[in-house]
Amino acid sequence: MSCCSSVHGFAWLVLVHACFFAAAQAQQAARTDPTEVTALNAILGTWGLRASPAWNISGEPCSGVAVDETDVDNNPNINPAIKCDCSFNASTVCHITKLGISSNNFTGELPAELGNLEKLEQMYIISSGFSGPFPSTFSKLTNLRILWASDNEFTGKIPDYFGSLPNLQELRFQGNSFQGPIPASLSNLTRLTSLRIGDILNGSSSLSFISNLTSLTVLILRNCKISDNLGTVNFSKLAELTLLDLSFNNITGHVPQSILNLNKLGFLFLGNNSLSGSLPYDKSPSLNNLYVLINIELWHMLLLCV
C-alpha cells in the first residue's frame, strides 16, 4: 500500500481503488498448479480429511494462511497445513512448497499422489500414524530439502532414490519399522546437515556411506544394525559435527584420535557396540563440553566429561 501514501483528496481515492484493484488482480492471477490441486484433493480424499477452515481447500488452496505470514508449524488448528510459493510463471502460478501434517491419526500408506507436489521443499510427517512402504513417486520430489518422517510405522527398505534427491538437508527416519540395509546411495547427499536414522529391523549396514557427508552437523544412526569398522570413516572430513550418535550397533575397531579432534563436537555416543582398545587421550582444548558415552569391552559404560 506504499503507493497510496502521501496523496490527497480525489486523487487519493482513485489511487486507493487502483491499489485494491491491482492487489485483487494479483491475487486472482496467481493460482495453484492444477496438477497439485488434483493431487491435494486425492491426498485429502485418501485420508478422509476435512481440512481446517483456515485451509482454503474448497476454493484456491494457495490463499489465506497458505500464502500470508501465518506460522502454521505449531498451530493445532491448522493441521494439515500447506505453504505456497506464488512467484512461478511470472507470478501467475503457485506451487506447494511445504506440507506440516505431523501429530495426526492417519492410517495406511502415504498416497502416491504426494509425488505430484513437485516443488515441495519441506515435508513434516512425524507421529502421523502412517504405515507401509514409501511410495516410489517420492523420487520426483527433487526440490525436497527437509523430510521429517520419524515415529510412524513405515516398512520396507529406505528407498535408494533418496540418494538422488540432491537438495536434501535434513532427513529423519527414526522410530519406524524399516528393514536394512541403509542404502549406500545416501553417500550422495553432500548437502545433508542433519541425518537421523534409528531402529532398523534387519539387514546389516555399512558405515562408509557417511564418509563424504561433509556438511553434517548432527548424525544419529542409533540401533541401525551397522556392522562395520569405525576405521572405514575418515572423521577429519566431518568437521562440522556437533553431535554423533552411533550407539546400539555392531561397530568394531577402536576410537580414532580424529573423532576427539573434531572441535565442534559436543556429544559423542558410541555405547553398545563392539569397540575395543583404549580411548585416545590427546583431546584438543576445544573439547571442553564433549560428553562421551562409550562402552568398550574393557571399560563397560564410561561417561566422560572432559
Ligand X SMILES: *[C@@H]1O[C@H](CO)[C@@H](O)[C@H](O)[C@H]1NC(C)=O
Choice between 15 and 31, CB closer to ligand X: 31
Residue 253 Rama label (left phi>0; alpha psi -120 to 50; beta): left
Among 9, 105, 282, 305, binds ligand X (CB under 6 A): 105
Choice between 15 and 252, CB closer to ligand X: 252
Q: Which amino acid is at 29?
A: A
Joined grid coordinates for residue 179 = 528393514
Is 56 in a helix, a strand, or coil? coil
* Contact characters 28-67, ligand X, x per CB under 6 A: -----x----------------------x--xx--xx---
Is 294 in a helix, a strand, or coil? strand
Burial of 239 (0-12, 13-18, 19+ CB in 10 A): middle
33 CB-side CA count, 13 A: 19
Quote the DSSP letter at residue 43: H
Among 159, 203, 231, 266, binds ligand X (CB under 6 A): 203
Contact present, 204 and 223 (Cβ < 8 Å):
no
Q: Does 227 bind ligand X (CB under 6 A)?
A: yes
Among 45, 108, 166, 277, binds ligand X (CB under 6 A): 166
Choice between 15 and 229, CB closer to ligand X: 229
Least distance in angstroms from the C-beta of 138 to ligand X: 14
Q: Does 234 bind ligand X (CB under 6 A)?
A: yes
Q: Does 231 bind ligand X (CB under 6 A)?
A: no
Q: Does 212 bind ligand X (CB under 6 A)?
A: yes
Q: Does 133 bind ligand X (CB under 6 A)?
A: no
Rounded CA separation 162/47 (Å):
25
Q: Does 104 bind ligand X (CB under 6 A)?
A: yes
Span near ligand X by CB under 6 A; candidates 2-10, 116-124, 178-186, 259-267: 178-186
- Residue 259: closest CA among 87, 248, 58, 275: 275
Least distance in angstroms from the C-beta of 7 to ligand X: 28
- Residue 80: closest CA among 57, 58, 60: 57
Burial of 195 (0-12, 13-18, 19+ CB in 10 A): buried
Q: Does 89 bind ligand X (CB under 6 A)?
A: yes
Q: Does 253 bind ligand X (CB under 6 A)?
A: no
Rounded CA separation 53/81 (Å):
11
Q: Which amino acid is at 56?
A: N
Q: Which amino acid is at 19?
A: C
* Contact characters 261-280, ligand X, x per CB under 6 A: -----------x--------
Choice between 169 and 187, CB closer to ligand X: 187
Q: Does 202 bind ligand X (CB under 6 A)?
A: yes
Q: Which residues bind ligand X (CB under 6 A)?
A: 33, 56, 59-60, 63-64, 89, 93, 103-105, 163-164, 166, 179-180, 185, 187-188, 202-204, 208-209, 211-212, 227, 234, 236-237, 248, 250, 252, 272, 295, 300
